[in-house]
Amino acid sequence: MGWSSLLVIGASAGGVDALRSMVAGLRRDLAAPVLIVLHIGAHRSELPALLSAAGPLPAKHADDNERMQVGQIYIAPPDRHMIVAGPGLRLTRGPRENWARPAINPLFRSAAEHYGRSAIGVILTGRLNDGTAGLYEIRCHGGVTVVQDPDDAAWPDMPRSAVTHGAPDYCPPLAEIAALLNRLVAESQGGKAVVIPSQALEEGRAMKDGQEFDPPVAVTCPDCGGALRRQEVGTLIEYRCHIQHVYTAEVLAEAQFDQMERVMRAGERIVHERSEFCRQMAVRAATTGAGDEERSWRAAERQALDRAYELRDLIEQDWIRPETDPRPILAMAAD
């Protein structure tokens, strides 16, 4: 891993022009990978070609599990969050954040967690406030934060939110950002970026593919979805929602398991239906002589069928069922 800094950049409305202007000023020998998220949703994007033509550094959509390289611009592809995972990148279809996938915050959070002081975060023009929380994480981990001057931005909402809530280290106009980044990277070249081991597990948080699974705010009622309040009646534990659905702990555990199985069975059915739909489209393509199209539909049919079987296997595995033994449930009353 031959770099001392990691550049992460987020933009939204007005971001194409801003990014083209900024990358035009980056040095050809920039000793850092450059990671960019632009809010493009699931729409096709020509941003890699536009940025490659605008400046000296090559740009591409990131690939899953790709190892980062110095002097390369990596762009989050349509409908995928781009996550830093040590010296590599992960692409996920994790939940949308701030109505966006790809979103800026997942990239910034992961850069902060894995690179700390070596991360340089940049917020450019955009609506609303995606990126503010991620930039704050970079600041808290000792990284450098840069925000385009809101008065200089085509859409000032995102930069203004970052300035208001994040107290950035630098707030220059767009025309000065590339030179600033060149200087920050050059000044850091005496050291080496160090990948920081994830602290998620040590802090009691589950983590997969760069996405945290924080504990839910509340356990919810299987009947109505309302939050459940726990109470103890002697050595018995009850859970009650605000419209008075009541469960003992054992019954709630059974109800949760039944609900989970119903949802997973519904997922299995939907994926099977996708497989059948793809098969029908492949047959139609075959009748029109569209060979490439038929092969694509056949591949999608096989993938859906494979995943349907994976779901079935998951559902039919032996699950640990403490609720079938009352001792762990009753023991909770002593907590």
Residues tagged active-site: 12, 39, 130
Q: Which of 18, 310, 297 is nearest to 153 (CA)?
A: 18
Extract the tokens encoding 114: 């894995």
Show the tokens assigned to 242: 């605000």
What is the 8-class DSSP label of residue 227?
B
DSSP track, 199-249? -TTTTT-EEETTEEEPPPSS-B-TTT-PBEEEEEETTEEEEEETT--EEEH
Phi (first) and psi of residue 85, to 5 degrees: -135, 85
Nearest CA among 274, 275, 296 for reference residue 286: 296
Residue type, 329: I
Give the length of the chain. Answer: 335
Q: What is the DSSP string of 40-96?
A: -TTS---HHHHHHHHSSS-EEE--TTPBP-TT-EEEPPTT-EEEEETTEEEEE-PPP
CB 158 within 8 A of CB 129: yes
Which residue matches tokens 């990131």? Answer: 62
Contact 127, 11 (CB under 8 A): no
